[in-house]
Each structure stands twice: as C-alpha cells, then as structure tokens.
Structure 1
Amino acid sequence: MSSVVPIESPGTDTDLARRPRRRGTLLVVDDEEGPRKSLAVIFKDEYDILMADNGPHAIELAQKHDIDVAILDIRMAGMSGIEVLERLKYVNPHIEVVMMTAFETTDTMRQAMRLRASDYINKPFDISTMRAAVANAMQRRTLESEINDNAEKLQELMAELQNQKIEEQIANTRGEIYASILHDINGPLTVISGFVQLMNQRFSNATRLEKEDLEFIKDRLKIINRQVTNCIEISRRYLSFLRRQTDEIPRVSINQLLTDLKHLINVHPSVQQNTFAVQPVAEDIGARMNGTDVIQILLNLTVNAFQCTSTPHHVEITGEVLHEPLDLTQFKDGPETRFLNVEGMANAAPLLKLSVRDNGPGIPADVLPRIFQPYFTTKGPRQGTGLGLNIVQRLVKEGKGALHLQTAPGRGTTFTVYLPAARLR
C-alpha cells in the first residue's frame, strides 16, 4: 500500500503540501517496502520525504507536491520505472530523477538517459553512493530553480524598464502636444492683451466718450470676444481628451485634430527638406479615442515616414469614413504587408480610416517583421529610440483599432489606421 512518511510528526499528503517548504522534497518510488523504508531513514534528516509503492500514486504525488528529486526503481509491478520517469517529466520537466535497479541492462540505461534521468544506481546500493547521487541531483535542481527564478526576475525587470521607456516616450510626445496647445492659446491672448492696452491708452484719461469712440470699443470688443472664445475652445477640446472615456461620443472632429497635427509637424525638426501635406476628411467625424492619442499615433507615423531616408521625399496624410465593417479576410500578412490587432479590433461601422503615406525607399523584407518590436530601429542614435512604432501599436490596440502596413521597395510605405468612430455631438 502506498504511503507518505512524515519527517518529525505524523501528517498526510495534504498536511505536507500546506507546510512551508524549508528544504528539498524527495520522492521514493519502489514496490518493495524494505528499500523504501531504508531510503526514508537515510534521508529523513535532510529532506521532506514522500513515498509511493506504485507508479500511479507517484504521479499523483508529483501533481500535488513540488518535488525536487525522485528515486525510482526500474522494475515494478504495473507501471515500470521508465514509464514513471516519462510521466514525472511530463508533470514537471524540472524534477531530477535517480534510477535504481537490480537488473541493469544497456537498453534500460539508454532509455533512462534519453528521458534525462540524472543518475543510475545498482541494487543493493551503497549508502555513500546513493547520498552522493541524490545530493548531486538536488544541487542540479536547486541551481536550475535559481536560474529560472533569476530569469523570471530579469524578464520582469526588462518588461518594467520597457514600460517605463514607453511611458517616458508617450509623456515626451504629449508634452510636445501640450506645448502646441500653449502656443495656440498664446496667439489669442496676445491679441486680447494688445487691444486691452490700446483701449486703455485711448480712454484712460477720457472724461466722456464720443460716438466714434463707442464704435471703436464695440469693434475691438467683438475681436476680443472672438479670441476669448478661441481660448475657451482650445482649452475645452484638450480637457475633453483627458476626461472622456473611449466609449463616449467625441466632441472634437478629426479635421480639427488634423489641423492641430499640422501645426505640430510644421515645427518638427524631422521635416527638414521633405514636403508634407494633410488632406481633410470629406465627411467630418470623431474618433472614439483620446484625442491626444490620435495625434500621437499620426505624429509617430509621420516622423517615421520623414526619417525613412535622408533623401528629400513627400509625406501625406489622408482620411475617409467607412460606413461598412472591414472584410478582414482580405488582409493577409506577407513579405510586403502586415495587419495588426485583428482579434482586438471593434470592427463596426462607422470606422475612421487614416493613412500616412510616403514615397521613400520602402521597408526591406528582412526588416519588416521586426519594426514593431521595442527598441528596434534602423536609424542613427540621434534620430530615434526605436519606440515610436511600438507605441503606435500599443495605442491602436488600446483604442480597439487596427493597423495595416503596406510597403514596396522603391515605391514607399503606407500605414493605415482604422479606428472606431462616431458622429459629433
């Protein structure tokens, strides 16, 4: 009958599973009681001991407990030791296994080594030899566990650093957008300030107002009122971007966002000798996405287009409204195309289709599969961080949109963004 041997006090399988593990766990599997008890006595002061007299119970214990090393007898009634070894490795590939038998054959040794047994001991075993074999197996298990833990921690650290880099890049781009907002507001404020000063100079010492003075004031107040309205609209527009959720009806049109984007790009250092054009959308509509994120997606794609070559070239942004869902079956990844976020896209009309097109050299086939990876860049160290397209991918996914890339050597590249849209309020 199968059993679990307690170390210091009686306990069940469940008790052992719940106890905090302070030392390695050793599983002994043998259909003979004598060898099982002998091994328990040898190792009880060093490890937590689990024992089973057949293969099925050994597999059951491996499923319930985190076992470090197992000692298996090869010849057992029912399931053989080789079969148990194979099943244990299936349950937990990291378990180290020491095989023992009184009937050693070349074939069984070969099978055991193929299944990655760590050692092979003959019965009757020598205590020092068995101790050494188990100690070596336990050390290998411990080292492997530490390596895996360190690898996981390293992956977590790299992911955290990557997220921080992306967030920093997003913050930097949003800083540029908000700087543009301040620039836009500064214009109306300058006009207001100038007219207020002008009226103050003209009427500060006046004791009475003539008819022409009243007309002057009315005219200047109309101009001031228009500029105040401009400031309020700019403020409201961008505050609404921060406050609303993606499922709310948009307040700001895509054409207004394209106008803001054009102002931002006109002063961007990446423009250099390149030409640039923005075509308004014929049917004005709003995107169901944070407005600053829409601008950031288009800005990153446009800057990427500017930087595709040092030779002067043309970049153009166009858009249209789609009144039917996309036929996703027509989009196939190939050597010159990529379609991202098929599964996560909210493919329901109306959809906003925005394209950023350049007539540059195109993207080489060996580079295309990697362009959305973080930190991947073909540009010089001063031209980019390799995060721009990765941020685009992330924002498109968060907005339940999709991204279609088409490129051809010598003919240029087109990035097309599909976003959920809604009529303006």
Structure 2
Amino acid sequence: MDTSSEPVTGTGHTSKPTLLIVDDEEGPRQSLRIVFKNEYNVLVASDGLEAIMLARSNPICVVVCDIMMLGMSGVEVLKELKQIDPLVEVIMLTAFETIETARQALRHGASDYLNKPFDIPTMRAAVAHAAQKHKTAVEFRQGNQQLQELQRVIQEQRMREEMARTQGEIYASVLHDINSPLTVISGFVDLINRSMQNTARVEGQQLESLRDDLNKLNGQVGRCFEISRRYLSFLHSQTVEKSQVGVNQIMSDLKELLLRHPTSKGHQLTVNGLDRDVIAEINGTDFLQVLLNLTINALQSTSHPHRVTVSCQLHPSPIDVRKFSDSPTQRMVNREGFANRTPILTVIIEDDGPGIPGDVLARMFEQRFTTKPPEHGTGLGLSIVKRLVREARGAILIQSAPGAGAKFTVCLQTLT
C-alpha cells in the first residue's frame, strides 16, 4: 500500500486539502502525486478497496479515479465514495472512452471526465475546479447546519416562552374558574353561620336543611378540586378521562349554583333540562364551567332586572353551519373544528338585556378581552369557554344586536 502524503494532524485535519489518486498503474499514480504534492495532501491507492479504506479514515476533498481497473471498476468506487461522503468530488479517467461509461460516471455524481493520456494544465484545472466545488459545498453544509442549530435554539426559546405564558394563563384560569364555586361556598357558609347563631339547638327541619347545605358545600369543595385537577393535567399534557354525566344532572347543578350566586339576585332565571336525558361528549366539570360562565355573563349584562333562560334541545340532523356566517350580529366559534355528529345537543343561554355591539361581538372570545372595569373582569371567562368547547369538538353560536338581547347556543355531540 502506497499512501505517501503530507502529515496528518492529531485532530484528523491537514493543513492542505486531501487529494486521493486511484489507479492500478504505478506510472499515473506517481506522476499525479508529484504534480499535486505541493498543493494537496496526496493519498494514493492501487485499487478500489484500498481507496475506500482511505476514504473512510481521511477527509477526502477530491478523488482522481481510473475507470478501468482490476477488481472494482471506477464507477463502483465512485458509488462507494459518494455513500461515504456525498460531498466528495470525483474526476474519472479512462483510456477507452465510451458514451456509456461517461454516462454512468456522470449519473453517479462524477465531477469531471478526462481521457488518458491527460495533459497537466487540463488536469490541474479539473482538480482545482473540483476542489472549489467541494469547498463551496462544505461551506454551504456548515452554514445550513448552523442555520438549523440557530432555528432549533430559537424554537426552544419560543417553546420556553410559550410554556411560561401558558402556565401563567392556566394559573389565572384556575383562579377565575374556582371563583364561582368559592362564591357559592361563601354563601353556604354565611347561611350556616346565621342558622347556628340564631338558635341554641339545631334539630328537626332546620337540622335537615343544615345537612343539605353541608352536602352542597362539600360538593362545591369537590368541584374546586376537580377544576384544579383538570388544569394541572392540562399543564402537564396528561389525558383526563371524560366523566359520564347526564345533561339533566348538569342543568340541575347549574340551577342550584346560580340560585345561590349573587349575580342572580333581582333577575328572572329559568333553567330547563331535556324531556329525555342524554350524555354530552364533554367532561362534566368542563360542561358546568361553560354553562356557568355564559349564564353569569348573561346575568351580568345589565344591573337592571331582566330575564335569563337556559334551555336544551336535541337535533337528529346535522346543523347547517352555512346559515351562520360571521357578521356584526352573529358569529360561530370553532366552526372548522366542530364535529357536527348527530344527535347534537344544543344548550341555549338567552337574555333580554341590552345586547352586544358588533365590535364587541367580534372580539369577545379573545384572551384577556373584557368590557368590564379591571376590578370586575379579567377577560378570561369566555376564552376558557372557547377552549373547553373546542376540546370537546363542539361549537358556539352567538346572535345579538344592540337593544335586542343576546343568545348563545352551545353545540355538543352526545354519547349514543
């Protein structure tokens, strides 16, 4: 094995680019080594196997390879070299040129194709051109790798920022959603305290009423834990099982909670369930949160006494979403993600309040958007509603106009 070359540094790199000469004839090998020894670190191989071994252990820039050799042909060597390093440039030599051999060499990525005997200026030009191509390709690959690394770093930074933002939103959402059951809990505690203060003994009907209030109080505490668990699962990207809760049970819980909620005072609230109970395809706690947020918003639409109605319907046919194009008086949330699979449950929250202006209707489900003063609104309620309904593959239709009240229709699939 003749591998005359410049010394190789300890890092695996040489001070000059490496040129590999592959030829089974001694004369061409040595003449090319002498021609290029001052410009390149020259390695020589007498057959294809030796050339492949050298290419695997050295960073080759350019290869000058004879096509007609004993053992492996030059085209076979070319294919192997390109597998080892796709950027290596290979110049093919032949004393018996045919169109087919030239075509094969070029098809497999040869940089150039020269005839024997070759003249020195032509060979120098071919090697210089190949070396420049290799240098450019390596620089491009390095630049591309640096770009990809930069993109990876930027993406990781964006993910960290998004996670921090999401965590902040989740914590704020937890506080917002727990506020409703905490308000009811506060009301129950106040009632119990007053009952206990006004009597020396609690017995009979008063005891039963107190027990009932305590059971409801315990239910609200459980709801707080369930809301917290749901948000923590969302924060850690865990799947939470869907609870099997009937629609009428949710409507009954909604009515009970709202009758104890301070926002319902002075207003006329009606909550109606279904004649035939069904189960909606949404987590029970999420379902109740959606209806609570929408109904409390309806109750808070004006301080003047007004009517709020919550009612349910079952639809045996898909909803024609084409009828509900977005406009200043109506909007459909999660139109594209709506499964629209029958039978479809619709829960309608309707009020005869002042209505919603067109510019507000267009933005009301945006994160942090609110028309309330800072001390009374966070802008989280409706964005939470949007996320929960979207996760359930449902939709929300809003219809309103100034002076004409507002109507929110929540569309959900049911379990069949």
CA distance in 1, matches of 2:266, 2:279: 32
Equivalent residue letter for 2:169: Q
- TM-score norm. by structure 1 comes to 0.51
Contact map agreement 1:180 1:264 (CA 8 A) in 2 = no
Contact map agreement 1:316 1:357 (CA 8 A) in 2 = yes
Identity of aligned residues (%): 33
CA distance in 1, matches of 2:348, 2:14: 70
Bigger radius of gyration among the two: 2
Aligned-pair distance for 1:390? 0.7
Contact map agreement 1:277 1:316 (CA 8 A) in 2 = yes
Equivalent residue letter for 1:169: H
The answer for the alignment partner of 1:316 in structure 2 is 309
The answer for the alignment partner of 2:164 in structure 1 is 157
The answer for the alignment partner of 2:299 in structure 1 is 306
Contact map agreement 1:162 1:374 (CA 8 A) in 2 = no
Q: 1:388 aligned to 2:381?
A: yes
- The C-alpha deviation readout for 1:42-67, integer Å capped at 9, x for no partner, is xxxxxxxxx96599848953773225
Equivalent residue letter for 2:326: D
Q: 1:256 aligned to 2:249?
A: yes
Equivalent residue letter for 2:366: Q
CA distance in 2, matches of 1:333, 1:348: 22
Query: What is the correspondence of 1:9-24 to structure 2 with a 5 Å cutoff?
Result: none
Question: Cα RMSD (Å) of the superposition?
Answer: 4.9
Structure 2: gaps spanning 5 or more residues: 1-11, 18-58, 62-83, 86-130, 191-201, 231-238
Aligned-pair distance for 1:179? 8.0
Task: Name the CA shift for 1:67/1:285 in 2 (closer, same or farther; >3 Å).
Answer: closer
- The C-alpha deviation readout for 1:20-46, integer Å capped at 9, x for no partner, is xxxxxxxxxxxxxxxxxxxxxxxxxxx
CA distance in 2, matches of 1:55, 1:365: 62
CA distance in 1, matches of 2:317, 2:164: 43
The answer for the alignment partner of 1:416 in structure 2 is 409
Aligned-pair distance for 1:406? 1.1
The answer for the alignment partner of 1:167 in structure 2 is 174
Secondary structure of residue in 1 paired with 2:165: helix
Secondary structure of residue in 1 paired with 2:399: strand
Contact map agreement 1:370 1:376 (CA 8 A) in 2 = yes
CA distance in 1, matches of 2:370, 2:139: 49
Secondary structure of residue in 2 paired with 1:380: coil
Aligned-pair distance for 1:357? 0.8
- Which stretch of the first structure deviates more once superposed, 58-67 or 346-355? 58-67
Secondary structure of residue in 2 paired with 1:347: coil
Secondary structure of residue in 1 paired with 2:358: coil
The answer for the alignment partner of 1:397 in structure 2 is 390
Equivalent residue letter for 1:167: V
- The C-alpha deviation readout for 1:226-283, integer Å capped at 9, x for no partner, is x9xx99xx89x9899999933x7x3x43222212111111121222432211123233
Structure 1: gaps spanning 5 or more residues: 16-50, 69-91, 95-144, 184-192, 199-222
Contact map agreement 1:287 1:422 (CA 8 A) in 2 = yes
Q: 1:61 aligned to 2:141?
A: yes
- The C-alpha deviation readout for 1:140-176, integer Å capped at 9, x for no partner, is xxxxx99998777555433331122123323444556
The answer for the alignment partner of 1:115 in structure 2 is none
Equivalent residue letter for 1:361: P
CA distance in 2, matches of 1:403, 1:52: 63
Contact map agreement 2:279 2:414 (CA 8 A) in 1 = yes
Aligned-pair distance for 1:360? 1.7
Aligned-pair distance for 1:371? 1.1
- The C-alpha deviation readout for 1:61-110, integer Å capped at 9, x for no partner, is 37732259xxxxxxxxxxxxxxxxxxxxxxx9x9xxxxxxxxxxxxxxxx
Contact map agreement 1:357 1:414 (CA 8 A) in 2 = yes
Count of aligned positions: 272
CA distance in 2, matches of 1:279, 1:300: 17
Contact map agreement 2:339 2:393 (CA 8 A) in 1 = yes
Aligned-pair distance for 1:180? 9.1
Contact map agreement 1:357 1:415 (CA 8 A) in 2 = yes
Secondary structure of residue in 2 paired with 1:312: coil
The answer for the alignment partner of 1:245 in structure 2 is 241
Equivalent residue letter for 1:162: E
2:259 corresponds to which of 266, 272, 297: 266
The answer for the alignment partner of 2:25 in structure 1 is none
1:376 corresponds to which of 369, 372, 379: 369
Secondary structure of residue in 1 paired with 2:340: coil
Contact map agreement 1:174 1:296 (CA 8 A) in 2 = no
Task: Name the CA shift for 1:60/1:342 in 2 (closer, same or farther; >3 Å).
Answer: farther
CA distance in 2, matches of 1:12, 1:58: 12
Task: Name the CA shift for 1:55/1:386 in 2 (closer, same or farther; >3 Å).
Answer: farther
Secondary structure of residue in 2 paired with 1:368: helix
Query: What is the correspondence of 1:360-371 to structure 2 with a 5 Å cutoff?
Result: 360-371=353-364
Secondary structure of residue in 2 paired with 1:375: coil
Aligned-pair distance for 1:345? 2.5
